[in-house]
């Protein structure tokens, strides 16, 4: 008796594998469509329904709206779940970054305390750690720019210009700072020399070597 | 794998022979008023007068009733009829169909509110087939997203296995019943859906797809069902049995087998218990070689 060979593997057997079975039906229908349309076109008969042909359909409009609504809800649900997943991912990532930054801060603090301890104990004379070293990024920036010697000289002489951003900070600079030449009071009776103060006011650090002596002193020097 | 049968193709060739004046490249107008009566010309063209009587017995469940309604919407050449009383014989259907001037009939019945049977028959003297219908999904299910013109003629696609003798009768009956006659007054000009009949596991699987594009993109319209053929008769709703399905087991038989299996379990357990009781309790069995050392003591 002629019989069909049945597959014993349940996944392969189209009788039991729903997806496979439906694909068989789908493919059969597709083949039929291709063949049929070919034959109809040979006979010059109309085949596909045009978009502007309005006639009574097998399913009512109300029903088709329900179908459409269901599909849209399904799609919206999928999109929502995807969004939520993404947000969860981003949060995880953000949390990671935050934790890293905190750990970095703690590390720096620990190092600072170590250095202070060592200095206290007298192990190192270096008190560089107290100087406010600029942040890594700033340091990089400064090193990156090539120094124009002429420009640097002018800066030193006349000051950089622009807003005085970091001037009034209670830094170690102030700790190290030697009192200005004369400390505001000039020896030899020149008190409240406006010129000196003015010079200081011109901006920037006062370089001892560059302070110009007064008129009288210059004339004396000239005379010599 | 598919074998396609376009009823239209055969008829068109006939038409060409009879009326050579008929215009080729005839495109129907894009609008058709329902008030406009069918022109005599079209009426003349409609030669394949198939009329199918679709009805059922009393006691059909809701899903099955919806399936019947779906078939009625898909077939504009169908006629409806009231429910048949169960006391009436099946032969009565032939008379009912004759009164309605139908030459085909699809009759549904439900036994015990569980088993759903379908008869397809050529009414006066033709063959008839009885099927058991399973796995019913109607057009109203929201997963069936396709739609088609009401009365559009379908393309019918059959598995190549339908060429074998007993399947061939079914195929011919399906074509004449489900296929809409050419130039039927209630039919629509375009072909935008396709029926597939496939044989898997000795059962016929029916699917209805909407054709979305000429490249073969499809969307399911429904309904979908599985037909398990039981018998092919020579007469309409009775007569000599031409073919009987050897693999068919009536649902009653299946249910009784399942119950017997359950009963079998109980009986087996009972038997086991009785046998154990007969064997007696497991006692101490001594070493049989001890008897050698059991001598009679001589009293002197």
Q: What is the 3-state secondary structure (H, E, C) of B274-285?
A: HHHHHHCCCCCC
Predicted local confidence at residue A115, as pLDDT? 87
Indicate whether this model's pTM tops 0.80.
no
Pick from B206, B190, B106, B104: nearest CA to B153: B190
Closest CB from A34, A46, A67 relative to B28: A46
**Tokens matching residue A91:** 């949060």
Q: Cα separation of B220 and A26, whole Å?
A: 9
Burial of B248 by CB count in 10 Å (0-12 exposed, 13-18 middle, 19+ buried)? middle
B contact test, residue of A33, A51, A71 with most B CBs within 10 A: A33
Angle formed at CA B257 by CA B116 and CA B240, multiple of 5 degrees: 50
B contact test, residue of A54, A58, A68 with most B CBs within 10 A: A58
Predicted local confidence at residue A129, as pLDDT? 67
The verdict on B211 touching A (C-beta cutoff 8 Å) is yes
**Tokens matching residue B147:** 């739609």
Closest approach of A92 to chain B, Cα-based (Å):
38
B contact test, residue of A2, A45, A46 with most B CBs within 10 A: A45
Q: Residue ranges of chain A with pLDDT lower than 50?
A: 1-3, 137-141, 186, 189-204
Predicted local confidence at residue B21, as pLDDT? 44
Q: Tell me which H or E stretch contains A41.
A: helix A18-42
**Tokens matching residue A66:** 């329900």
pLDDT tens-digit series, residues B163-198:
998 899 999 999 999 999 998 989 988 999 999 999
Q: Cα separation of B189 and B182, whole Å?
A: 9
Do residues B72 and B66 touch, judged by C-beta distance below 8 A? no
Closest CB from A29, A54, A64 relative to B157: A29
0.95 surpassed by complex ipTM: no
Task: Give how far Cα B254 sits from Cα of A177, B110, B115, B257, B258, Å.
Answer: 105, 17, 12, 5, 6
Predicted local confidence at residue B1, as pLDDT? 45
Contacts of A25 in chain B (CB under 8 A): 196, 198, 205, 207
A contact test, residue of B1, B3, B4, B162 with most A CBs within 10 A: B4
Nearest-Cα residue of chain B relative to residue A38? B214
User: What count of other Cβ atoms lies within 10 Å of the Cβ of residue B276?
Assistant: 10
Predicted local confidence at residue A80, as pLDDT? 95
Tally of CA atoms within 13 A in the half-sphere of B18 that contains its CB? 8
Contacts of A31 in chain B (CB under 8 A): 1-2, 4, 157, 216
Instruction: Tell how far CA A83 is from the center of its chain.
Output: 22
Confidence of residue B31 (pLDDT cuts 50, 70, 90): low
- A21–B142: do the CB atoms touch at under 8 Å? no
Indicate if the pLDDT at residue B252 is higher than 90: yes
Question: B122 in helix, strand or coil?
Answer: strand
Closest approach of B197 to chain A, Cα-based (Å):
8
A142 or B254, greater pLDDT? B254
Predicted local confidence at residue A211, as pLDDT? 82
Predicted local confidence at residue B194, as pLDDT? 95
The verdict on B289 touching A (C-beta cutoff 8 Å) is no
Predicted local confidence at residue B176, as pLDDT? 94
Lowest mean pLDDT of A4-8, A24-28, B102-106, B149-153, name the range.
A4-8
Predicted local confidence at residue A163, as pLDDT? 83
pLDDT tens-digit series, residues A40-60:
999 988 888 888 888 899 999
Do residues B27 and B53 touch, judged by C-beta distance below 8 A? no
Contacts of B2 in chain A (CB under 8 A): 27-29, 31-32, 35
Predicted local confidence at residue A201, as pLDDT? 46
Pick from B203, B198, B220: nearest CA to B211: B220
- The greatest distance separating any two alpha carbons of chain A, rounded to the nearest whole angstrom, comes to 138
- B148–A58: do the CB atoms touch at under 8 Å? yes
Contacts of B50 (CB under 8 A, 6+ apart): B77, B103, B104, B176, B177, B181
Do residues B215 and B198 touch, judged by C-beta distance below 8 A? no
Q: Cα separation of A200 and A214, whole Å?
A: 14
Do residues B161 and B199 touch, judged by C-beta distance below 8 A? yes
Predicted local confidence at residue A49, as pLDDT? 87
pLDDT tens-digit series, residues B222-248:
899 999 999 999 999 989 999 999 999
- Is the bond preceding B54 in cis, omega lying within 30 degrees of 0? no
Domains of chain B: residue spans and CATH: 52-252 (3.40.50.10480)
- B200–A66: do the CB atoms touch at under 8 Å? no
Between A and B, how many CB-CB pairs are < 8 A?
Answer: 130
Q: Dump the DSSP string for B57-112.
A: BS---HHHHHHHHHHHHH-TTEEE-PPBPTTS-TTHHHHHHHHTT-SEEEEEEEET
Distance in Å from the first CA to the final CA of chain B: 106
Q: Mean of the per-residue pLDDT values for chain B? A: 86
- B150–A47: do the CB atoms touch at under 8 Å? no
Instruction: Tell how far CA B258 is from the center of its chain.
Output: 24
Task: Give the pLDDT mean for B118-124.
Answer: 94
Predicted local confidence at residue B28, as pLDDT? 63
User: What count of other Cβ atoms lies within 10 Å of the Cβ of residue B118?
Assistant: 22
Place of tokens 């001892």: A208
- B140–A63: do the CB atoms touch at under 8 Å? yes
Confidence of residue B22 (pLDDT cuts 50, 70, 90): very low
pLDDT tens-digit series, residues B271-298:
999 988 888 777 777 777 777 777 777 7
A29 or B8, greater pLDDT? A29
Contacts of B12 in chain A (CB under 8 A): 43, 45
Lowest mean pLDDT of B26-35, B132-141, B177-186, name the range.
B26-35
The verdict on A43 touching B (C-beta cutoff 8 Å) is yes
Q: Cα separation of B219 and B211, whole Å?
A: 7
Instruction: Tell how far CA A15 is from the center of its chain.
Output: 56
B contact test, residue of A16, A19, A28 with most B CBs within 10 A: A28
Q: Which residue ranges make up each domain of chain A? A: 10-42, 133-159
Predicted local confidence at residue A176, as pLDDT? 67
Q: Which of residues 163-202 of B touch A (CB under 8 A)?
A: 188-192, 194, 196, 198, 200-201
In DSSP terms, B210 is beta-bridged to B193, B219
Predicted local confidence at residue A17, as pLDDT? 87
DSSP B188: B
Lowest mean pLDDT of A150-159, B23-32, B61-70, B226-235, name the range.
B23-32
Contacts of A17 in chain B (CB under 8 A): none
Predicted local confidence at residue A132, as pLDDT? 61
Indicate if the pLDDT at residue B257 is higher than 70: yes
Predicted local confidence at residue A182, as pLDDT? 53
Pick from B158, B159, B144: nearest CA to B210: B144
Under the phi-then-psi rule, with left for phi > 0, alpha for psi from -120 to 50, and beta for the rest, what region is A178?
Answer: beta
Closest approach of B155 to chain A, Cα-based (Å):
7
Angle formed at CA B90 by CA B87 and CA B95, multiple of 5 degrees: 105
The verdict on A75 touching B (C-beta cutoff 8 Å) is no
Closest approach of A39 to chain B, Cα-based (Å):
8
Q: Which of residues 248-267 of B touch A (CB under 8 A)?
A: none
Predicted local confidence at residue A40, as pLDDT? 92
A4 or B100, greater pLDDT? B100
């Amino acid at each position: 008796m002629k019989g069909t060979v049945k597959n014993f593997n349940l996944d392969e057997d189209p009788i039991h594998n729903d997806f496979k079975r439906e694909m068989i039906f789908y493919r059969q229908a597709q083949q039929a469509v291709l063949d049929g349309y070919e034959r109809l076109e040979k006979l010059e008969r109309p085949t596909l329904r045009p978009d502007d042909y309005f006639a009574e359909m097998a399913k009512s409009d109300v029903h088709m709206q329900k179908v459409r609504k269901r599909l849209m809800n399904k799609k919206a649900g999928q999109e929502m779940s995807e969004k939520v997943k993404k947000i969860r991912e981003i949060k995880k990532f953000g949390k990671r970054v935050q934790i890293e930054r905190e750990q970095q801060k703690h590390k720096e603090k620990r190092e600072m305390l170590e250095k202070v301890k060592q200095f206290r104990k007298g192990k190192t004379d270096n008190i560089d750690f107290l100087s406010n070293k600029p942040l890594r990024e700033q340091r990089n920036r400064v090193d990156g720019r090539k120094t124009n010697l002429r420009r640097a000289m002018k800066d030193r002489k006349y000051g950089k210009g622009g807003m005085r951003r970091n001037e009034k900070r209670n830094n170690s600079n102030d700790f190290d700072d030697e009192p200005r030449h004369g400390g505001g009071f000039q020896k030899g009776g020149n008190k409240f020399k406006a010129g000196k103060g003015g010079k200081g006011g011109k901006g920037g650090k006062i370089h001892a070597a560059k302070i110009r002596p007064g008129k009288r002193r210059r004339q004396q020097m000239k005379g010599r | 794998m598919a074998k396609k049968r376009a009823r239209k193709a055969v008829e068109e060739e006939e038409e060409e022979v009879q009326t050579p004046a008929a215009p080729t490249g005839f495109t129907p107008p894009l609008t058709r008023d329902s008030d406009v009566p069918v022109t005599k010309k079209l009426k003349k063209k409609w030669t394949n007068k198939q009329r199918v009587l679709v009805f059922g017995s009393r006691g059909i469940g809701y899903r099955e009733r919806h399936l019947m309604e779906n078939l009625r919407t898909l077939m504009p050449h169908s006629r409806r009829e009231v429910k048949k009383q169960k006391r009436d014989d099946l032969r009565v259907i032939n008379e009912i169909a004759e009164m309605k001037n139908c030459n085909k009939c699809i009759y549904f019945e439900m036994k015990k509110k569980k088993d759903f049977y379908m008869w397809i028959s050529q009414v006066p003297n033709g063959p008839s087939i009885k099927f058991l219908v399973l796995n019913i999904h109607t057009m109203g299910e929201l997963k069936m997203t396709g739609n088609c013109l009401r009365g559009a003629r379908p393309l019918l696609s059959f598995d190549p296995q339908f060429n074998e003798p007993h399947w061939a009768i079914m195929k011919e009956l399906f074509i004449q019943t489900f296929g809409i006659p050419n130039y039927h007054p209630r039919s629509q000009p375009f072909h935008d859906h396709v029926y597939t009949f496939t044989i898997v596991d000795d059962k016929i699987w029916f699917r209805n797809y909407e054709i979305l594009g000429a490249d073969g993109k499809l969307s399911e319209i429904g309904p979908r069902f599985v037909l398990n053929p039981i018998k092919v008769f020579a007469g309409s709703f009775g007569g000599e049995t031409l073919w009987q399905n050897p693999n068919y087991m009536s649902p009653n038989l299946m249910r009784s087998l399942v119950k017997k299996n359950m009963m079998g379990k109980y009986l087996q357990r009972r038997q086991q218990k009785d046998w154990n009781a007969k064997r007696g309790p497991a006692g101490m069995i001594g070493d049989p070689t001890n008897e050698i050392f059991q001598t009679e003591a001589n009293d002197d």
